[in-house]
């Protein structure tokens, strides 16, 4: 099949590349010319394990191309995926100006051939209907098309695996013709993996992604509430949460306390879902509590640092991890950046290291020192703060770290170290809920 992907962010680039790997002829469209030059050279503009190799492979196979020309891509493709950004507005509602803009461009290019227009971006319920209205309003020829929803469930750091080995495929369609086209597109994946396919209404599909992310964020905030309880009660959150997670009805995933969730999805999606509840006249206090606990998690961690170090002015603090999670270079809503900004306001001197996210961080934090490895970040530091759970940090030589530091103090925002071992080595150790 001929498929067009409009937008080459995490979702669009991964989706397009993997669809090419399934054997389809895919063109990825973007208006960022600098990004396009990188992609045409076989370079991924984002760090995502395995993605760049797949890009090069499918470009060499003639199945994957990149272009800024949306018109020809729309005319020649059977399926058109909308994968543009949907950032939050100040009130929490998703800003759909990019989706609307793409819909207008599709309308100008669409011809008499039947097309399936796919909302792949995470959007509020009823967005597909607005996309359809927009295309009909601005189309310059008789347009034969359906607009459907095909939500993504990718996790940054495992996006390729999540696309090639998904736990479900959701197709939100009110048209059998469109459903059949999507099943044809996903046939190589379905045949290989036997992945469950859920065919639902368009509105249901639009709610599934917001609902899933809100639930996962709720589990994280619950874990942090348990951590706060354990610190006050003198218990260990990891012991409590591990036993809770052994219940099959609950599960162990995402029951990990820390300094809160970040990234481009959870904060944006739960804010959008909260706004949807408000519009529908439904009480949204549960979602508000999830957001409030998440914010408090970073604030409580900062209070530990300030209480232990007392005066921060002039003190050197090493920060390990800048990305919002491991295996990505994404720093959007990263807890580490919020913590660094707070420490800087108190006069602390920050030395930082991250395996992948420093280039992105340098664009917004120009007044901290960036190092080449974690040991340099620890040198002469009065405290070492762990903000991202990279495997590289889990395997640090703590004896060497201790020798390099001015005062051996670790604030472990991701609970990657064993408190007893750290204390045995002579560290003052502060975890989350430990």
Q: Provide the annotated active-site residues.
A: 265
Nearest-angstrom CA–CA distance, 129 and 174? 11
Q: Which of 90, 86, 70, 74 is nearest to 149 (CA)?
A: 86
For residue 381, give both structure tokens. 């530091």
The residue written with tokens 């790997």 in the block is: 21
Burial class of residue 77 (count of CB atoms within 10 Å of its CB; 0-12, 13-18, 19+):
buried
Residue 79: strand, helix, or coil: strand
Longest dimension (CA), the chain: 75
Whether the Cβ atoms of residue 430 and residue 410 lie closer than 8 Å to each other: yes
Question: What is d(CA 58, CA 64) in angstroms, rounded to the nearest whole number?
Answer: 5
CA distance 330 to 322: 9
Cβ atoms < 10 Å from Cβ of 156: 24
* Helices and strands per DSSP (H, E), number in the chain: 18, 14
Per the CB < 8 A criterion, the answer to whether 67 and 5 are in contact is no
């Amino acid at each position: 099949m001929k498929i067009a992907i409009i937008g080459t962010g995490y979702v669009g680039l991964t989706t397009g590349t993997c669809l090419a790997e399934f054997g389809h002829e895919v063109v990825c469209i973007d208006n960022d010319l600098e990004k396009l030059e990188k992609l045409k050279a076989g370079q991924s503009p984002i760090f995502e394990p395995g993605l760049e190799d797949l890009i090069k492979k499918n470009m060499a196979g003639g199945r994957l191309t990149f272009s800024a020309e949306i018109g020809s891509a729309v005319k020649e493709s059977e399926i058109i995926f909308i994968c543009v950004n949907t950032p939050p507005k100040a009130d929490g509602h998703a800003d759909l100006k990019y989706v609307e803009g793409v819909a207008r461009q599709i309308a100008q290019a669409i011809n008499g051939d039947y097309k399936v227009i796919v909302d792949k971006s995470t959007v509020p319920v009823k967005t597909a209907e607005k996309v359809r209205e927009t295309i009909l309003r601005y189309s310059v020829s008789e347009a034969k098309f359906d607009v459907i929803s095909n939500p993504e469930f990718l996790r940054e750091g495992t996006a390729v695996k999540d696309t090639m080995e998904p736990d479900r495929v959701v197709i939100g369609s009110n048209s059998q013709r469109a459903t059949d086209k999507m099943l044809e597109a996903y046939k190589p994946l379905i045949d290989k993996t036997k992945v469950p396919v859920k065919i639902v209404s368009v509105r249901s599909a639009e709610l599934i992604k917001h609902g899933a992310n809100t639930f996962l964020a709720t589990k994280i905030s619950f874990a942090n509430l348990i951590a706060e309880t354990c610190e006050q009660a003198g218990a260990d959150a990891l012991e409590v949460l591990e036993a809770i997670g052994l219940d099959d009805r609950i599960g162990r995933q995402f029951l990990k306390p820390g300094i809160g969730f970040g990234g481009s999805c959870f904060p944006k999606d739960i804010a959008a879902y909260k706004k949807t509840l408000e519009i529908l006249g439904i009480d949204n206090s549960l979602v508000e509590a999830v957001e409030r606990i998440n914010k408090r998690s970073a604030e409580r961690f900062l209070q530990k640092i300030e209480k232990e170090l007392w005066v921060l002015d002039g003190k050197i603090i090493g920060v390990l991890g800048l990305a919002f999670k491991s295996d990505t270079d994404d720093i959007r809503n990263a807890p580490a950046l919020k913590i660094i900004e707070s420490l800087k306001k108190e006069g602390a001197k920050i030395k930082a290291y991250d395996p992948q996210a420093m280039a992105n961080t340098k664009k917004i934090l120009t007044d901290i020192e960036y190092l080449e490895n974690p040991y340099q970040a620890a040198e002469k530091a009065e405290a070492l703060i762990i903000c991202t759970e990279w495997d590289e940090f889990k395997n640090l030589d703590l004896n060497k770290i201790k020798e390099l530091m001015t005062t051996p103090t670790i604030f472990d925002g991701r609970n990657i170290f064993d408190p007893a071992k750290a204390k045995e080595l002579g560290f003052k150790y502060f975890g989350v809920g430990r």
